[in-house]
């Protein structure tokens, strides 16, 4: 019985220590940028359009979602970053992205290229904090 209580308190102390230390670790802006870009591209790849839309400014989300909701038979095979240019001391990035896809009933893979501008928002609102795509999504071919 005493041994179980001691194990509980030791586990609690370790957990508390880890949580206390982790609050002092902060992810760099460059790491946040890379994670955001990767998450956006993975969301496209896996047809998680609502997740991808969260990386856009609110005024561009509706059009983005409408574009992909109308493409029920699209199959995205790859999304890759072609070019990245850092601006404004890592607070802004210009990217070029390619997306390979096919649209049923066709099985021919096509490539769609588009550019995006990402800007870091450091607002107090946690939903707006982080990198957001400020360019509207281009018309899909």
Q: What CATH number corresponds to the domain at position 104?
A: 3.10.450.50
Could you write out the DSSP letters of every residue in 81-108?
A: EEEEEEEGGGTEEEEEEEEEEEETT---
Q: How many domains does the chain have?
A: 1
Residue 42 inside a domain? The answer is yes
Task: Walk along the chain (141 residues) and give the pLDDT tens digit of each residue.
Answer: 665 545 544 444 454 444 444 444 467 888 989 999 999 999 999 999 999 999 999 999 999 999 999 999 999 999 999 999 998 788 999 999 999 999 999 999 999 999 999 999 987 665 667 999 999 999 988
Residue 11 inside a domain? The answer is no
Residue 9 inside a domain? The answer is no
SS3 state of residue 48:
coil
Range of the domain at 83: 28-133
Q: Is residue 48 within 8 Å of residue 68, measured between CB atoms?
A: no
The tokens of 7 are what? 């194990």
Q: How far apart are CA 141 and CA 135, in angstroms?
A: 18
- pTM attached to this predicted model: 0.77
Cα–chain center distance at 141:
23
Residue 113 inside a domain? The answer is yes
Residue 16 inside a domain? The answer is no
Residue 1 inside a domain? The answer is no
């Amino acid at each position: 019985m005493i041994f179980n209580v001691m194990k509980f308190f030791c586990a609690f102390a370790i957990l508390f220590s880890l949580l206390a230390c982790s609050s002092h670790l902060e992810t760099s802006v460059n790491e946040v940028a890379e994670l955001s870009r990767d998450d956006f591209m993975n969301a496209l790849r896996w047809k998680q359009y609502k997740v991808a839309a969260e990386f856009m400014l609110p005024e561009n989300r509706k059009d983005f979602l409408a574009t992909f909701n109308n493409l029920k038979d699209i199959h995205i095979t790859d999304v890759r970053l072609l070019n990245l240019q850092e601006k404004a001391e890592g607070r802004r990035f210009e990217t070029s992205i390619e997306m390979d896809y096919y649209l049923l009933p066709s099985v021919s893979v096509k490539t769609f290229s588009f550019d995006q501008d990402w800007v870091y928002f450091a607002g107090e609102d946690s939903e707006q904090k982080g990198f957001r795509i400020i360019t509207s999504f281009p018309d899909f071919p």
